[in-house]
Amino acid sequence: MRLSRRHPRYRSLVVRARLARSLESGLIVPEGLIAQGRGEAFDYLLGERTSPSARRAERVAAEWLLAARRPVVSVNGNVAALAAKEVARVARALPRIRVEVNLFHRTPARARAVARTLSRVGVREVLGVRPTATIPGLPSDRALVDRRGIFVADVCLVPLEDGDRTEALRARGQTVISVDLNPLSRTSRAADLPIVDEVARALGHIADDLERLGQPGERGRRRPFDREAALSAALDTIYRELKRAAARPRSARRRR
């Protein structure tokens, strides 16, 4: 299908087309389309741009990753389909970070497809294709991890995560940075540092910050982050955007 750049929702249509191709190739699962639909709805309510509060959270996330001893970024099918290049930029800017496949709907073929997608954009080593450890107490396949990666990470960057694993990682004393457009999700509420932003934008900004900051900070020392304030700021943004949308003249409203 040809997509016209003049369509008011051109960018969203491009992303949908990419995800539809990723479904055909087996990189994502049908549930991934549903997850994207929920994400799109929240992005719409957030004005489809990074809020100042999310941008601040992304800056702190970059600092925490730089200060971490064993940082890891966890990649599922949707993240590989939407933001593989941004994951590669993060990995280039912070060579110490381990990149690990972690799937809710795990099959060996999908794990390989995620790893292949990441390799194609320049990620040198991808962990998690053959899991070597299990996070105790987690009923889903998300428990299957690599003992050199998520299993021993001190800081885990987990885009599009589920609440159970976020809680399980935190229960093990691991620090969780989430990326999730839904400020009400269990993941956002359980993470140490919830970033309420679209995954490609968020990881792109974190890569910008890592590139700019360059050198590792003092290991183990972290700037405090007020997650309750960040989540309330996201809800305030939604409230303001809704009021703005409701105040727009009818003809302008129809264009979105």
Tokens of 2: 């040809």
Q: How many angstroms separate the CA atoms of 69 and 17, rounded?
A: 38
Smallest gap from residue 79 Cβ to ligand PTJ (A): 8
Residue 75, helix vs strand vs coil? strand
Contact range with ligand PTJ by CB under 6 A, out of 27-35, 56-64, 130-138, 229-237 = 27-35
The answer to whether the CB of 199 falls within 8 A of the CB of 159 is yes
Task: Show contacts with ligand PTJ in window 64-103 (CB under 6 A).
Answer: 76-78, 82, 103
Question: Which residue do the tokens 């679209």 mark?
Answer: 198
Q: Does 162 bind ligand PTJ (CB under 6 A)?
A: yes
Task: Select 94 or 200, whichever has its Cβ closest to ligand PTJ.
Answer: 200
Q: Which of 44, 60, 47, 58 is nearest to 86 (CA)?
A: 58
For residue 46, state whether it binds ligand PTJ (rule: CB under 6 A). no
Cβ closest to ligand PTJ, residue 67 vs residue 150 = 150
For residue 90, how many other CB atoms are within 10 A of its CB?
Answer: 25
Q: Kindly tell me which residue out of 19, 22, 42, 50 binds ligand PTJ, with binding defined by CB under 6 A.
A: 42
Window 173-192: contact mask with ligand PTJ (x via CB under 6 A): ------xxxx--x-------
- For the chain, give the number of residues: 256
Cβ proximity of 114 and 104 under 8 Å: no
- Name the site residues for ligand PTJ (rule: CB under 6 A): 28-29, 31-32, 35-36, 38-39, 42, 76-78, 82, 103-105, 160, 162, 179-182, 185, 198-199
